[in-house]
Structure 1
C-alpha cells in the first residue's frame, strides 16, 4: 500500500491490501468515538437503572410491564457499554487475554463479537434507537413569548436540566394522594403512560402539566415551583416590591418541595441533624414544613436552614437566596416578644 500525502486517490497493490488499509483507517477514526460513546452509554445505563428502581417500587396496576420493559432496555444498554469498553480497553493497551479473564469468554469469542467492525455497527445501531435518555418534548424546545405563561413566572421553560428531585416529588405526591395513576391522569387531563414516564424521570413535563398533576393529587402547586425551576436551570425572580407573605410562601414552598422529594421524612429526624446550638429552632422548622404559613420562618437562622436543606439533599445556594429574600422583608420581633419568647 502507498501512503497518499498529496490528497490524490490512493492506489493499492491488491484487493486484500485495500481492505487492510480500510480497516486501519476505520480503527483510527473509531478510537475517539468509542471513548465518547462510553461516556454517553454510561450515563444512559445510570438513567435506565434508576428507572428500573423507580418502576419496581411504584404501585401502577395499569402498567404491569413497565419494570420488565425498563429491565430489557437496561440489559441492552449494558451490552452496548461492554462492547465499547472492550474496544476502549484495547486502545489503552489491554490484551485480549486480559479481557477474556474479566469477561469469562475465550479470546476467539471476544475477537469475533467485539471486533472494530462489530462494535462500530452496534454504535451506529444505537443512533437509530435514540433518544436513549429522556428528551424535552418538541413543544418545549421551541421558544415561546413570556406572555404565554407556561412557566411559573410567565416564562418559557429553557432547555433540559436536572430533574431527579422533581420526578421523585411528583412520584411521592401521587402515592401520598392514595389514588392510582390512571385516576390522577384522568383528573389532570393526561395520558396514564405520560404520567408514569414523568414520575419515573423518563420525560420532562411542562409547568402546566405539573400544575394540573399536583392539583389532581390534592397538592399545592407552590411546593413544586422551585423544583420545576431547578429542573429547568432557572431562577424564580422575586419582584422588588414583593411583600412578606409572597416571599414567605416562596421560601416555604421551596422547603416543602425538598421535603416532598425525600418522601416527607419525620421532622424529628431532620431536626436531629441540626447543629446542637440550633436545636431550639425545631418548632420553627416543623412549622416551615407544615402546609399553613409559618410567619416565624423569617427568624430562622441560616445555620439551621442550611442544615435542613442539606438533610433534604437540596441545593443550599438556591435555598440561601430564598432565605436572604425572606430575611430582608421579615418583620423584626419586638422587644416584648424577645423578652418573653
Structure 2
C-alpha cells in the first residue's frame, strides 16, 4: 500500500512537471489523498490487531481516543475500503497494471522518461499503470524492456487482461518455461514478496519456491494451485499451462508422471492436498 502511495505521488509530480490539464492533476491528487487515508486506516488496523489500544493510536495520531475510534473503527474502515468490482476481467487488468507498476518502480525509470523511451503518450501510460486501460502486447513488450524486465513474464498476464481466448489444448513444447514465466508474472503483480514471505502464504519451502519460479522444476498441481492462490492469481489461467507441462511429460515418458513432478520438498508439502 505504501508503494502504491509513492507511485501516485510520483505520477502527480510528473503531471505537474508536464503541466497536464488541471482536471488530470486534481484527479491524481484526489487519488493520492484517498490512498493516504487508506494507508493510515490500514496502519491503524494492523496496530489494533497487534494489541494497541485506542489510547495508543490516539497518542500516535495526536488526537483523542474517541476521535480515533470514530475515524478508524470497523464501520469507518468499510467506508474507506468499499467492495471493489470483482469481475475476472477487472482482476486480470489490475494484475497486469500492478506488475508493470512494480517493474517501473524497481527500475528507477521515471514515468515521463518511460513515456519518452516507449513512444507512448504520458496520460495513456499513467492510465495503463493505474489499470484504467489495457495496452497492446507490443506496448507491454516495449515497457518491459524500458523497465529492464522480462516481457515473457508478462505474457499470460496480458492475455488474461486482454481477454485473449487460448486454445483448449496448449502445445506441450516449451510448456514448462511458459508456466514458470506465468508464475513469475504473478510474483511481480503481487509486489515481489520475498521467498520467506511467500513461503508463509503458500506453505511451501523457500528453496522449493525458488526452483519453481526459476523454472528448474514444475511442482505437482496441489503445490501449483497453492502458489497461485498465495500470489492472488487465477487458477483458471494457470491450470491449462500446468496441464500442457503434464502432457509434455506424458509424451516424453509414455505414462502419467504427475506423481514425479516437482522436488521432494513440494511433493511432501502437498501430500495432504491443496
Q: Which structure carries more helix by proportion?
A: 2
Instruction: Spell out, residue by residue over 1:87-135, the C-alpha distance to the aligned partner (whole angstroms, 9 max, x if none).
Output: xxxxxxxxxxxxxxxxxxxxxxxxxxxxxxxxxxxxxxxxxxxxxxxxx
Match of 2:94 in 1: 164
Taking the aligned partners of 1:228 and 1:71, their CA distance within structure 2 comes to 28
Is residue 2:208 matched to residue 1:284?
yes
**Match 2:178 to one of 241, 250, 253:** 250
Query: Conserved in 2, the CA contact under 8 Å of 1:56 and 1:67?
Result: no
Structure 1: where are the runs of 5+ without partners? 1-51, 76-158
Larger Rg: 1
Q: Quick check: 1:328 aligned with 2:247? A: yes
**Counterpart in the other structure of 1:274:** 202
Q: After the TM superposition, which of the residue ranges 303-312 and 65-74 deviates more from structure 2?
A: 65-74
Aligned residue in 1 for 2:131: 201
Instruction: Please give the residue correspondences for 1:85-124 in structure 2 after superposition, counting only pairs within 5 Å.
Output: none
Deviation at 1:236, TM superposition (A): 3.8
- Name 2:118's counterpart in structure 1: 188
Q: CA deviation at 1:325?
A: 1.2
Q: How does 1:1-341 map to 2 (within 5 A)?
A: 56-58=8-10, 61-64=13-16, 68-70=26-28, 162-237=92-167, 242-243=172-173, 246-275=174-203, 279=204, 282-290=206-214, 294-296=215-217, 298=218, 300-330=219-249
Conserved 8 A contact 1:247-1:326: yes
Between 1 and 2, higher relative CO (CA 8 Å, sep ≥ 6) is seen in 2
TM-score by length of 1: 0.49
Query: Hey, what's the Cα distance between the residues in 1 that align with 2:197 and 2:91?
Result: 30
**What runs of 5+ residues in structure 2 fail to find an aligned partner?**
17-21, 34-88, 265-274
Q: Distance in 2 between matches of 1:241 and 1:198?
A: 30
The alpha-carbon distance between structure 1 residues 54 and 304, as it changes in their structure 2 partners (threshold 3 A), is same
| Residue 283 to residue 328, structure 1, CA distance change in 2 (3 Å) | farther
Distance 1:307 1:316 in 2: 9
> Residues 286 and 209 of structure 1: is their aligned pair in 2 closer, same or farther, counting only changes over 3 Å?
same
TM-score by length of 2: 0.59
- Separation of aligned partners in 2, 1:214 and 1:161: 20
How many pairs align? 191
Bigger drift between 318-327 and 256-265 goes to: 318-327
Does the 8 Å CA contact 1:160/1:232 hold for their aligned counterparts? no
